[in-house]
Structure 1
């Protein structure tokens, strides 16, 4: 085969392989946005082997150095990408936490905003209503729940001026992890019931929290509660909203798969939602740690508690807003 025929026959696949190599050097989100690439990742190993065969053939036939040098470069670049040592696990985990997770959350912005509205609005509405109609609390919570809540956050109780002993702190740390994570997983998994599942769970939790705060605030006993939740609320409440948004996406894909098969749409949302829930689980873990070892210390001045809370809210929101953004990966 003449050199011109050889080049004409394989030029397109060389260009596609070269384009794939170029895209692999860019940030992930930029590669995802450039859908003009002709070569899929799963086809690359076979294409790499063909380049190696074509290089050997070009050398055997004595083709010009321009052809052999080009194929040699493609082969070398492909080898470096396909057989490079994967980054350490701790680095991959760090990249996921700092960059991939915030990008995943932002990629489902519409669902996240809806989840926040479903969670926050009932909370705020109940809190305000109970300041004017305190008797509404009896239609929301059972009498024993109300009595237990009032005893737990009684500002005249001397226990609220001291922290727990170290053994109790570790015990409560485990309790908080189980409780918080179970709430997040329930919100996400309820998406398998359609969008009504996450909607119900988000509204229910919003009503429950708003009723608790509203009742104690109306009684004038809310100070211990405000100081208790101030530290861990940035992580815990935000994680509930995030898992709720992932659950809404799961339910939406189940109900409206579009042109995809329903099972394919569900698998796609489930896989993405599982990664979002993994990041949210870390947030629940941090919230449980703060709740067990910081929030319980009522002797710390309120100004310090609220100052720390404001700092954590700022850091969490900046992380979700800016995390993983780069000059080329996101607008």
Structure 2
């Protein structure tokens, strides 16, 4: 194929296509012309690639075809707008929709933890079953406090570990067993440690080291448990929706909760990494932890309520989810 002759024949249509792609507004006839010229240019590009693959021509025509495709399909809004909408609308809406589930999980968690703690603290056999007496004393006097080693490395480790566990809790929600086991195991663990510390007259040490970061960290755990159980409930009791649609809608929305909890746990990790083990006064540490928890609930209740009232669910829009089709007119 004579590439120069081919370009001479099609140059006018390529130039016209370039003009139409650069136009800010187009009439209906121009839009039809744009589509027609785009299809022709795409064919021309394929022909040149197969018959006379000149790099310069292929590059120039590829860019033209790509711009024309964007002009026809429309460009997506800037990604930063998506990020802002996700942070100030989508995530808080999901947290808001989970608020009562979160409170329910919290009450059950604390009940189990308190029962486990009282049992260990008042039952010598249960206490010794945790670890030998010498190991208990070492843990109470040194190991528990030394665990909270201030620094960015410790904060990052705690963050990634907790984020993974909460994601698994949500991800296994459809089983119904995963979230329950996750909540139960964590509640019993917290209760056992608290009970052992109390049995050795160190409950104050336990509370002052757990409270600063634990208020927000445990709230994130409660949200994860609530999200997982809500997925299971959507499958068990879909209501007026089909079971498949109910499960899909809740799972997509609550996957947003998993992403949102990454940010919540990052803040909790910073508190645990730089506040809990620091030399600050104990009441200052707790005040910082309480402020972090208050910030979470203000974020959830204020922004979340506003987003839900505006129709935000955390799920995809109906057309993107495949539940509605675009129609003309």
**TM-score interval (norm. to shorter):** 0.5 to 0.7
Which structure 2 residues correspond to residues 128-139 of structure 1 after superposition, within 5 A?
A: 128-138=118-128
Distance 1:268 1:127, change over 3 A: same
- How many Å separate the matches in 2 of 1:293 and 1:230? 14
Aligned-partner SS, 1:231: helix
Is the CA contact 1:150–1:216 (under 8 Å) kept in the aligned structure 2? no
Aligned-partner SS, 2:212: coil
Is the CA contact 2:102–2:226 (under 8 Å) kept in the aligned structure 1? yes
Give 2:171's match in structure 1, choosing from 184, 189, 196.
189
Is the CA contact 2:169–2:179 (under 8 Å) kept in the aligned structure 1? yes
Q: Give the deviation of 1:329 after TM superposition.
A: 2.6
- How many Å separate the matches in 2 of 1:127 and 1:282? 30
Q: Give the deviation of 1:211 after TM superposition.
A: 1.5
Q: Give the deviation of 1:259 after TM superposition.
A: 4.8
Which structure 2 residues correspond to residues 204-283 of structure 1 after superposition, within 5 A?
A: 204-283=185-264
- How many Å separate the matches in 2 of 1:110 and 1:159? 33
Which residue does 1:175 correspond to in 2? 157
- How many Å separate the matches in 2 of 1:233 and 1:164? 15
Q: Give the deviation of 1:238 after TM superposition.
A: 0.7
Is the CA contact 2:92–2:307 (under 8 Å) kept in the aligned structure 1? no
Q: Give the deviation of 1:120 after TM superposition.
A: 2.0
Q: Map Cα deviations across residues 139-167 of structure 1 (whole Å, 9 max, x no partner).
A: 5x3x26x866653441xx599599847xx
Please list every run of 5 or more consecutive structure 1 residues that lacks an aligned counterpart in the other structure: 1-50, 54-81
Q: Give the deviation of 1:261 after TM superposition.
A: 4.0
Q: TM-score, normalised by structure 1?
A: 0.62
Q: TM-score, normalised by structure 2?
A: 0.62
Is the CA contact 1:192–1:254 (under 8 Å) kept in the aligned structure 2? yes
Q: Map Cα deviations across residues 59-105 of structure 1 (whole Å, 9 max, x no partner).
A: xxxxxxxxxxxxxxxxxxxxxxx96872552x543443344322212
Give 1:86's match in structure 2, choosing from 77, 89, 99.
77
Q: Give the deviation of 1:264 after TM superposition.
A: 2.7
Larger Cα-atom Rg: 2
Q: Would you say 1:317 and 2:317 are equivalent positions? A: no
Root-mean-square deviation (CA, aligned residues, Å) is 3.5
Distance 1:150 1:184, change over 3 A: farther
Please list every run of 5 or more consecutive structure 2 residues that lacks an aligned counterpart in the other structure: 1-26, 30-72, 312-329
Distance 1:327 1:290, change over 3 A: closer
Give 2:269's match in structure 1, choosing from 283, 288, 300.
288
Distance 1:120 1:102, change over 3 A: farther
- How many Å separate the matches in 1 of 2:143 and 2:231? 47
Q: Would you say 1:125 and 2:115 are equivalent positions? A: yes
Which residue does 2:70 correspond to in 1? none
Aligned residues, how many? 243
Which residue does 1:63 correspond to in 2? none
